[in-house]
Structure 1
Amino acid sequence: MAPASHSILPELRIMTERETLTASHWGLFYALTKDGRLTGARPFEKDCAPSPNLEDIASLPYAEARILEPMVRRSFLERGKDSRADRGNDSYVPVSWDKALDLAADAIRSTYRDFGPSAVWGRSYGWKSPGSVNNSIALLQRLLNLMGGYIETGNSYSTAAIGTILPYALGIKDPRSTGWDTILEHTERIVLWGCDPLVTNDIDWTTTLHEGTEIFRSLKGHPRIRTIAVNPVCPRTAQEIGSQWIAARPGTDCALMLGILYVLIKENLADEAFLSRCTTGWPELRSYVLGDEDGIAKTPAWAAAESGVPAHDIEALARDMAAHRTMIMFGWGPQRARYGELPPWMAVALAAALGQIGLPGGGIGTNYHYCNGGCPPGTGPQLGQIPSRVPPAVPVVHPWKGSRAVPVARMADVLAHPGKVIAWNGSRIEYPDVHLVFWAGGNPFAHHPDTRRLEEAWRRPDAVIVAESFWNATARHADIVLPASTFLERTDITPIGTYINDGIVLMKQAIDPIGGSKSDYAIFSALARRLGLEEPFTEGLTEAEWIRKLYEDARSRSLASGLKTLLPKWESFEKAGVILYPHEKKNEGYVAFADFRRDPEAHPLKTETGKIVLYSERIASLGYADCPPHPAYLKPYEAYGNAEHAADAAALRNPEGGYLQLVSPKSDARLHSQLNAVTFRKSQIAGREICLINPADASLRNIATGDVIRVSSLRGAILAGAVVTDSVRPGAVVVHHGGWFDPQKVEGEALDVHGSSNVLTPDDPASSLSCGNIASTALVQVSKWTGTAPEVKVFEPPEN
């Protein structure tokens, strides 16, 4: 890379103590260094609720699992693509940067030459690190677009089902939520349905000031607002703020809501005037609730049998919600499941039946638990990122084969089954034939379900290139490994806040790059040079010049748009390091869907009828058996009491108490798998990931806290450390999402010995509508491990 041409890439070799302002997904902080080494992190003074994970960030660059130099899989060096079956079971050879980049460029060039862009998987889904220039995903896709393109994807692992169904129901994927100022003034009941905001609001896609965390904590002991948490696991939020816990069985959210709807209808508590004026499809849904459609009345007794929530509690909840101004804060956990479109759609129907949508403090919001949803947006310009959408700079010689876009969560299926045709939200798509995988900025071996199936599919392409900072499972299954620096070892710029746009921060470099690592911009610029694309890739700009360009572009927009918040000149911003935007009065008092409620004809929704849709003719026309045209309760086959797949269920039973249902929520010790390299001891018992189990279920299996236990499903098995607790309902167990995958052969059995939850989860589509991922609804066996517990090795570098 060319020498820095601007002062924002500082000389770091002066031996001194210093504080450097930077930003992470966990918030802004000052990186503390002494003699060029990180010693700690001090939270930014305007952070409303600093993350406890900041204390671990200073040790991140020095993790034992750090990738220190370019590496190539030994068999790949010897036999190339003919060695692909060895991915995940091979040693690595250190090579020079020139050698690694030449090999990577050759793999890219030959794939486009022989097969064209439809053979390239470069979506690299993942959270990456903050930074608008060293945006590893954007840089990768910029390079591949210059080569002619790559396989596009739709949806996300986070919100595939809810993001697909809400446009049918409400006309928008992610509606802006009613403002917290309005909630604190008017709301009387908050129902935290399938979410844990104090865990998930600790992070942001960019960075955060944690306003939402501070507000949630203020609800403890509130004189007017009572909070209720509906969840098979008692969320940390509920424990901290004193919420009532309603412990429904996993996957039964729709059944519970149907029981509530039955009470509202039978006791004349449903707002029929609102339903008539602002919705379509209520007669059809009402018929289903009362049992006229299928002969099954969805009574509280029926709902109790399905959900495990006593009928009298269902009745009491229905009456309480109807009698008070109620905000349903619906999370994304329930929709990461088989038939995942139905719980959020049912929640919209419940809010509509209560008649409070569009009223101050009432209705439904689907992002309060994420990136400070509901907090007022700032008034400044949005900072852009390095553009990834660029036209090809070289001729595209092969016609596209297969569909240009696929559902992101069908990735392993795409790799394994080229040419397969599936249904997807009204279309029929054909999988392309993938020959090259290039991954940067994520860890699919943590976020993709059925890890063993992914592992097999991952061995099919001719070459796998990974740009990564740590030896996670994705790097350990690569052919060519390019060591990327962490965000602490480079300078960048990032917006503050995803929903609320709090400002801009200059992420100043705190330490020199560790080992031979390079910034993402340097890595992809070097690859572009080898591919003859350096000029269109860099546009003649250094990393520092791109940072300044993005800032100046935002400043120009602020001047041209007449925003009250005008960005200062670059020199002033560089000196300050951060700009925080004010919140204007016009952003206060926001009520979601208020205009629509007031006059549905003048302010129609972007749905098929212009109103809230409770029965969709469009979905009905698709004829999908796994997604009915109105919200309904469909029991997944791996669910409590379901005999649909009796043979499979029998295989999961054991003499020590039968099968249990897996729940895999987010961990408060990491972001997906990020930070696991340094926080793994926080989330471990007996040297591996924690499994929460109810005392009744533990007693049947002779399990005590601290025991190593084996958890298995139809897909695979893991070892975990038991924690016996009544914070998880009977019949369910919890293994938090994001633990690093450590596959080993133990007594002839393939086991993940660390405890990665997605080894257990099914890689089936939520439905033909969204094709979203399933991170829950898995039946598992749990038993005490009586053998010698194998050593966890995943946090050590692989063998050379």
Structure 2
Amino acid sequence: MSGDQLEVRPHPDDPDPNGIIQNFPAALRHRARVAQPMVRKGWLENGPGADDRRGRDEFVPVAWEKALDLLGKELMRVRDGVGPGAIFGGSYGWSSAGRFHHAQSQIHRFLNVACGGYVRSVTSYSSGSSQVLIPHIIGDHEGLTKRNVSWEQIAEHTEIVVAFGGMALKNSMVAGGSVSRHVERSAMKRAAERGCNFVLVSPLLSDLPEEANAEWVSCVPGSDTALMLAIVHTLVVEGKHDRAFLERYTSGWPIFERYLLGITDGQPKDAAWAAPLTGVRADKIIVLARRLAGKRALIVVSHSLQRAEHGEQPVWIGMVLAAALGQIGLPGGGYGYALGAIAYYGRRYNAVPIPTLSQGRNGVSDFIPVARIADMLLEPGETYRFNGETRTYPDIKLVYWAGGNPFHHHQDLNRLRKAFARVDTLVVHELAWTATARHADIVLPCTMTLEREDIGANSNDPLLVPMHPVAPPYGEARDDYEIFADLAEYLGVREAFTQGRSVRQWLEHLYEQTRAGLSEQGVSAPSFGAFWAGEGLLLPQQPDDGGYLRAFRNDPEAHPLPTPSGRLEIYSQTIASFGEADCPGHPTWLGSVYVPTKDTPFVLISNQPKTRLHSQLDFGGHSIAFKHRGREVATMHPEDAAARGICEGNIIKLSNERGACLAGVMLSVGVRRGVIQLATGAWYDPADPNEEKPLCVHGNPNVLTRDIGTSRLAQGCTGQLTTVQVERFEGNLPVIRAFDPPV
């Protein structure tokens, strides 16, 4: 089947379909697909070893038998000669619809079975800061995001929502495992029509949909912590905070209050103090605080705010603001951290387990925070701080990547190029020639979702669907499972990896997990054959009961939080004991590093794209249609553009000391002055890969972002913000080769 013969339709019950599914037709048989196993010429000729030619070398096609032989020998060399602690198992395939062909599960299962384990990564680029912080101060991160305040509650109960960083619909288009109904737009519309007020605090007006009818508070990027501190300060000095709630449900308020009022440092965190930091007038801050008092108020802090230096602070002060209002645990009120960030947030949990492939036991205990991969490869043996521990970076010889594109989601790509040049071998399973594949030594072509059978499901969507292939594999592409099974046979562990099952047998085996759960609840459970022949199965879901925070509010003694105090920790003795200056024991304004200068006068917001999931299928028709002259589009204020002689549709150059990229430009008054927005996900395309800091001609903002952790506590990703110069590009436009196969 060719792409132009493929028609993609959304689920008939979806009230707000996701447009990015239209990337599939053009992607299915695109020239960017990897057609056969390929080996980098320098690695094939010289063998394993550090090599700065990665990313600019030629590739040699080889037969599958040859590729598996080369890879099998290399795995044995590292496993037996150095140990599995020298293997890094990279994967970021969380969004895979299929539960069996989930790249992350497949590669980790293989490395555990065949190599005895691997060095893994923890946390995520999306929420690396909050995943470390929230267990200390609230408890269960997953319960906070997935089983707390729901869209149904907002539509029915909420009186005012203040969304710091917004709830952009582009972010909730996708959920790991698929989502059958997109309900966010309609829920906000129903709430607004009922009289709920939405307040958007963001430099970008597009961070809430028009249906929310939101008031826009345009703030300086990275200043949200100062703004929330000032709101809490106003509540306290006017006596509008909920003292009874703070007394019963929180720990450490008196310590924090002394800081808030300026007793400890001589600086009250009032509206007058916050106004020049945030760009929001002091009287407007005071009015907003008064509007919140006594209302069923919901405070939302987006993932994006914690993807910046000191990213822990807005997450922490957001909880404190919700606690000061006394709203946590009430229907439609309290703290909706990351609501709207992913489609399964704000929904009900399924009452039965979904099919899940076991990854087995990892015999290697070592790990790194996911965003510190370049540090690990560049600085083996160096120490770093993480969550109160002093850890040491391992010495990695082999990186095996399946499911993910670090040249999309990592920062300072020129530094990442140097990091990948240090390893002995980089192996990639990939369906297309991403920049990561171009930097690999061995590239194995894998199938895409449309070319294999699987089961689609996620834990917060009731629809379980059989996924049938609609096209044969492209070229010589194979399923990840088939690749790993053959490689496991080469290493003598095929039976242990496959357990003697074919793909269809695995699907039936995994389906039984769900079927058994249904039977235990007395729900009719069709056989696998009936399920496979049908259109899908609706699973029962748990009640919308507010989760552990509602239970805590109703009875804090019977249902304490999983924190050291059993309460909401406004002051954390544990975090304070770590002694990290960049993350003290309570929410603190630590200043902003994103201050414009003469050389870099703009703050760049590098947010998520609306035309694709991260960088996936960037060569698809929907993604391509929204580019300008083949390049990603940046958005800036018309007055900023006019001052630089930039007009709508020009090609512009964004640059700083780390690198430079080109982009098309769109003008909008919905962008704060002094800010430029360029979404991530355009495939990295260096004009001259032989240069140390080549110009990316396609518009990848991560050539500009800083590769530094949020703090010594969490070491999260800081890719959301940086500062840049912006100018109109003059001269001949470089050719875009991002989607052309390498030589």
1:357 to 2:328 alignment: yes
1:226 aligns with one of 197, 200, 203: 197
TM superposition shift of 1:128: 5.4
Q: How big is the shift at 1:65?
A: 0.8
Q: Is the 8 A contact 1:690 1:735 kept in 2?
A: yes
Amino acid at match of 1:639: V
- Equivalent position to 1:241, from 206, 209, 212: 212
1:335 paired residue among 287, 306, 319: 306
Verify the 8 A CA contact 1:213 1:372 in the aligned structure 2: no
Q: Does 1:662 align with 2:633?
A: no
TM-aligned CA distance change 1:746 to 1:84, over 3 Å: closer
Structure 1 residue 691 corresponds to structure 2 residue 634: yes
- Cα shift readout 1:176-232 (whole Å, capped 9, x = no counterpart): 222333332221112222133411111011100234335345347513111111111
Alignment of 1:264-663 (within 5 A): 264-369=235-340, 370-379=342-351, 381-390=352-361, 404-495=366-457, 497-498=458-459, 500-559=460-519, 562-583=520-541, 587-588=543-544, 590=546, 593-640=549-596, 649=597, 653-654=598-599, 659-663=601-605
Q: Is the 8 A contact 1:229 1:238 kept in 2?
A: no
Structure 1 residues 361 and 784, CA, compared in 2 at 3 Å: closer, same or farther? same
CA distance in 2, matches of 1:389, 1:449: 31
Which of 4, 10, 15 is the equivalent residue of 1:43?
10
Partners of 2:685 and 2:211 in 1: CA distance: 33
Residue 378 of structure 1 contacts residue 503 of structure 1 at CA under 8 Å; is this kept in 2?
A: no
SS, match of residue 494 in structure 1: strand
Structure 1 SS opposite 2:694: strand
When residues 185 and 109 of structure 1 are mapped into structure 2, their CA distance, relative to the original with a 3 A threshold, is same
Q: Which letter maps to 1:556? A: A
> SS at 1:525's partner residue?
helix
Cα distance in 2 between the residues matched to 1:361 and 1:736: 31
Shift of 1:664: 1.2
Deviation, 1:45, is 1.6
Q: Is the 8 A contact 1:412 1:454 kept in 2?
A: yes
* Residue 200 (str. 1) matches residue 146 (str. 2): no
Aligned counterpart, 1:765: 709
Question: Equivalent residue of 2:720, what SS?
Answer: coil
What are the Cα deviations for residues 377-431 of structure 1, in whole angstroms up to 9, with x where unaligned? 333x222322211477xxxxxxx7xx71211111110011110111111111111
Whether contact under 8 Å (1:465, 1:478) holds in the other structure is yes
**Corresponding residue SS for 2:66:** helix
Aligned partner of 1:30 in structure 2 is none
Offset at 1:747?
Answer: 12
- Tell me: CA distance 1:363–1:128, structure 2 relative to 1, closer, same or farther (3 Å): closer
Q: CA deviation at 1:48?
A: 3.1
Q: In the alignment, what sits opposite 1:149?
A: 117
Tell me the amino acid that sits aligned with residue 170 of structure 1. I
Offset from partner CA, 1:481-524 (integer Å, 9 cap, x none): 100011101111121x34x2413111101111111111111111
- Matched with 1:681 is 624
Q: How does 1:120-139 map to 2 (within 5 A)?
A: 120-127=87-94, 129-139=96-106
Question: What does 1:702-717 correspond to in 2, within 5 Å?
Answer: 702-717=645-660
Deviation at 1:240, TM superposition (A): 4.4
Q: Please say if residues 49 and 209 of structure 1, whose CA atoms lie closer than 8 Å, have aligned partners that are also in contact.
A: no
Partner of 1:163: 131
Call closer, same or farther: CA 1:235–1:621 in 2, change over 3 Å: same
CA distance in 1, matches of 2:541, 2:236: 42
Contact preservation (8 Å) 1:763, 1:774: yes
Q: Which residue number corresponds to residue 26 of structure 1?
A: none
Kept in 1, the 8 Å contact 2:13–2:181? The answer is no
Query: What is the DSSP-based 3-state SS (H/G/I as helix, E as strand, rest coil) of the residue aligned with 1:787?
Result: coil
8 Å CA contact 1:202, 1:210 repeated in 2:
no
Q: Does residue 58 of structure 1 match 2:15?
A: no
SS in 2 for 1:541: coil
What CA deviation, in whole Å up to 9, does each residue of 1:632-656 have, x standing for no partner? 111232335xxxxxxxx5xxx24xx
Question: Which residue of the partner structure matches residue 68 of structure 2?
Answer: 101
Of residues 690-699 and 626-635 in structure 1, the stretch that sits farther from structure 2 once superposed is 690-699
Count of paired positions = 736
Same amino acid, percent of matched pairs: 37
User: Match for 1:87 among 54, 68, 82?
Assistant: 54
Assess if the C-alpha contact under 8 Å between 2:23 and 2:623 holds in 1.
no
Structure 1, unaligned stretches of length 5 or more? Answer: 1-32, 393-399, 641-648
- Using structure 1 for the length normalisation, give the TM-score: 0.89
Mark the CA change 1:747 to 1:772 in structure 2 (over 3 Å): closer, same or farther: closer
Q: Which residue in 1 is equivalent to 2:695?
A: 751
Distance 1:772 1:228 in 2: 27
Secondary structure at 2:653's aligned position in 1? Answer: strand
**Corresponding residue of 2:227:** 256
CA apart distance, 1:325: 1.3
Question: Structure 1 residues 624, 589: CA separation in 2 closer, same or farther (over 3 Å shift)?
Answer: closer
When structure 1 is superposed on structure 2, of 783-792 and 482-491 the one drifting more is 783-792
8 Å Cα contact 1:220-1:242 kept in structure 2: no
CA gap 1:49/1:592 in 2 versus in 1, 3 angstroms: farther
Q: Does 1:172 align with 2:140?
A: yes
SS in structure 1 at match of 2:194: coil
User: Do the aligned residues in 2 keep the contact of 1:440 with 1:466 (CA within 8 Å)?
Assistant: yes
Task: Check if 1:788 corresponds to 2:738.
Answer: no
Residue 43 of structure 2 aligns to which amino acid in structure 1? F
Which residues of 2 match residues 61-80 of structure 1 at below 5 A?
61-80=28-47
Q: Distance in 2 between matches of 1:189 and 1:689?
A: 36
TM-score, normalised by the number of residues in structure 2:
0.95
Q: Is the 8 A contact 1:195 1:333 kept in 2?
A: no
CA RMSD of superposed structures (Å): 2.0
Q: Deviation per CA, 1:266-309, whole angstroms, max 9, x where unpaired?
A: 21111112111211111122111211121112121211100111
88-97 vs 436-445, which moves further? 88-97
